[in-house]
Chains A and B, each alone.
Chain A
């Protein structure tokens, strides 16, 4: 029932690199109604939800650092925010283990809100000039809405990527017992 850390580590490194490249080279350049999606908090939150707080925090930290380095922005800002997002999503899973199809959407929206507001606050505290006004509000709210729409596909993709390295889920095993036999227990008796 333990995590396969080596396999999970490689998968997360690959996932992080692909996420950063895809975000910078494609997603950031597609703006609909003046906003674009931000895959990074969604992926960090999904990893936290699926793998737990510790892998979530480490992945968030690494993902943030890679993003800051690749975008030539202030190193450490995204690491700090995504570390918090990965850890918080992981703790949510460990403490509450929420079930339901809407969980990735709510967690994704929350993670995006934390990322947007946290990034704005930290950047402001570091002395960047402030692009305040409707444009910033529109970007924050628009990105949250946009990310909520794509949260489930992103979660499913991340799940598909890390699933093989995760311990067997008893719930999955129980469901498979009913479906792979071809007959229900009632018809067998």
Chain B
């Protein structure tokens, strides 16, 4: 009896191990239209309404813990913010005249941006889930193909670019964030016009790198990095992102002016705490500038 129990336990363990390895091999080996991926999309679409409901129900609890987290973070950032506050106060006096002019320009700019975005048929969506690990920079949103969202559509927040849609079902989609290791966004430095590719760095979700910038271009800390849009004349090489969407700002440059210069960029969008995003579902003029 005891032997039988042991044998059964070992057999089950071996069977489960084999099953897991088989699933892994099949999943990695098949294309995204393969049977296991289809099953995954099916389960995902079944799970999404439950997840959405749970997300709404659990929002108060999330907010409570988020408030605790914010308090802890705020305390650790107090000294930094106080010093920044002193600098900002002195700059605010000098900048008040510039602000008056800027406000008028900003109104024009906002108008242009709003017109551009409206033509791109933006779809607002709520974030209803996110991957718990640092390895997959993905979030789940509550809008899908029924609202015209397709794989590859760019996703933005009020602060700037957040990522692109990587999986879509009828009423939900998975967004791969720009901090994911598989993402690469054609980008340019807004001041100098230097063009390169923004990819995740090794330091986590708030650390992007701007690569392939020619050494004749210099990037200064604080410079804005925006999407470059389509650069090629070939219709096959169109960028997924409209030009001019803010990505982040340059935080530091290592070895400037050399071929090996490393440009570190901090994303404008708070990728750790996304709540409302917009998916741009239409491409205007092939995303050319």
Q: Using CB atoms and an 8 Å cutoff, list the residues of chain A in contact with chain B.
A: 20-34, 36, 38, 40, 53-54, 57-58, 61, 64-66, 68-77, 79-80, 83, 87, 119-120, 123, 126, 128-136, 139
Binds A, one of B51-59, B217-225, B258-266: B51-59
CA distance in complex: A18, B11 (Å): 29
- Residue pairs across A and B with Cβ atoms less than 8 A apart, 19 shown, are A24-B140, A25-B55, A28-B132, A29-B273, A32-B68, A33-B72, A54-B13, A66-B43, A69-B44, A72-B138, A72-B174, A76-B22, A76-B23, A128-B181, A128-B182, A129-B181, A129-B182, A131-B181, A133-B204
Establish whether residues A30 and B135, one from each chain, have CB atoms under 8 Å apart when the complex forms.
no
11 additional contacts, CB 8 Å, given A26-B58, A30-B69? A24-B132, A25-B54, A28-B129, A32-B69, A53-B13, A61-B16, A65-B23, A71-B136, A74-B28, A75-B24, A129-B181
**Which residues of A are found within 8 Å of B182, using beta-carbon distances?**
128-129
The complex places the Cα of A114 from the Cα of B55 at a distance, in Å, of 28
Inter-chain contacts of B13 with A (CB < 8 A): 53-54, 57, 83, 87
B interface majority secondary structure: helix
Q: Is the interface of A mostly helix, strand, loop or mixed?
A: helix
Residue of B nearest to A94 (CB): B9
Query: Are the CB atoms of A73 and B16 closer together than 8 Å?
Result: no
Complex interface residues of chain B between 66 and 102 (CB less than 8 A to chain A): 66, 68-69, 72-73, 76
Contacts of B43 in A (CB 8 A): 66, 69-70
The 10 A-B residue pairs with the shortest CB-CB distance in the complex, in nearest-first order: A135-B204, A129-B181, A76-B24, A76-B23, A32-B69, A26-B58, A25-B54, A69-B43, A28-B132, A30-B65
Contact of B17 among A83, A129, A133 (CB under 8 A): A83
Q: Which of B62, B76, B203 contacts A134 (CB 8 A)?
A: B203
A30 touches B66 (CB 8 A): yes
Q: Are B69 and A21 in contact (CB under 8 A)?
A: no
Among A27, A71, A136: residue with most chain B CB under 10 A: A71
Contact of A21 (CB < 8 Å), options: B40, B51, B204: B51
CB of A54 within 8 A of CB of B24, answer: no
If A33-B72, A73-B131 touch, whether A25 touches B51 (CB-CB below 8 Å) is yes
Number of contact residues on B: which range applies? 35 or more
Known: A25-B54, A26-B62, A80-B17. A71 touches B131 (CB 8 A): yes
B19 at interface (Cβ–Cβ under 8 A)?
Answer: yes
**Closest Cβ neighbor of A36 among chain B residues:** B132
Which of B12, B25, B127, B167 has the largest count of A CB atoms less than 10 A from its CB?
Answer: B12
Q: How many A-B residue pairs have CB under 8 A?
A: 158
Which B residues touch A130, using CB under 8 A?
A: 181, 202
Query: Most B CB atoms within 10 A — which of A26, A38, A131?
Result: A131
Q: Of B9, B22, B65, B134, which is in contact with the most chain A CB atoms at under 10 Å from its CB?
A: B134
The answer for the CA separation of A29 and B141 in the assembled complex, in Å, is 13
* Partner among A24, A32, A79, A136 whose Cβ is within 8 Å of the Cβ of B130: A24
Interface residue ranges of B25-39 to A (CB < 8 Å): 25, 27-28, 36, 39
Which of A31, A80, A131 sits near B272, CB closer than 8 Å? A31
Complex CA gap A31/B21 in Å reads: 32
Q: Which positions 88-146 of chain B face chain A at CB distance < 8 Å?
A: 127-136, 138, 140
Distance in angstroms between the alpha carbons of A77 and B24 in the assembled complex: 7
Q: How far is the CA of A126 from the CA of B23 in the complex (A)?
A: 13
B200 at the interface (CB under 8 A from A): yes
Kindly state the separation between the CA atoms of A17 and B25 in the bound complex, as whole angstroms.
25
Give min CB distance, A14 to chain B, whole Å: 13
**Cβ of A54 and Cβ of B62 under 8 Å apart?**
no
Contacts of B39 in A (CB 8 A): 69
A53 to B138, Cβ gap below 8 A? Answer: no
Known A26-B61, A58-B12: A76·B204 in contact at CB below 8 Å: no
B40 x A69 contact (CB < 8 A) = yes
The verdict on A75 contacting B23 (CB below 8 Å), with A28-B130, A30-B69, A33-B72 known, is yes
Which residue of chain B has its CB nearest to the CB of A133? Answer: B202
Which residues from chain B contact A33 at a C-beta distance below 8 Å?
69, 72-73, 76
Contact residue among B52, B54, B127, B167 (Cβ-Cβ distance under 8 Å from A26): B54
User: Would you give the shortest CB distance from A176 to chain B, in whole angstroms?
Assistant: 29
| A27-B129 Cα distance, complex, nearest whole Å | 10
Chain B positions within 8 Å of A25 at CB level: 51-52, 54-55, 58, 128-129
Contacts of A26 in B (CB 8 A): 54-55, 58, 61-62
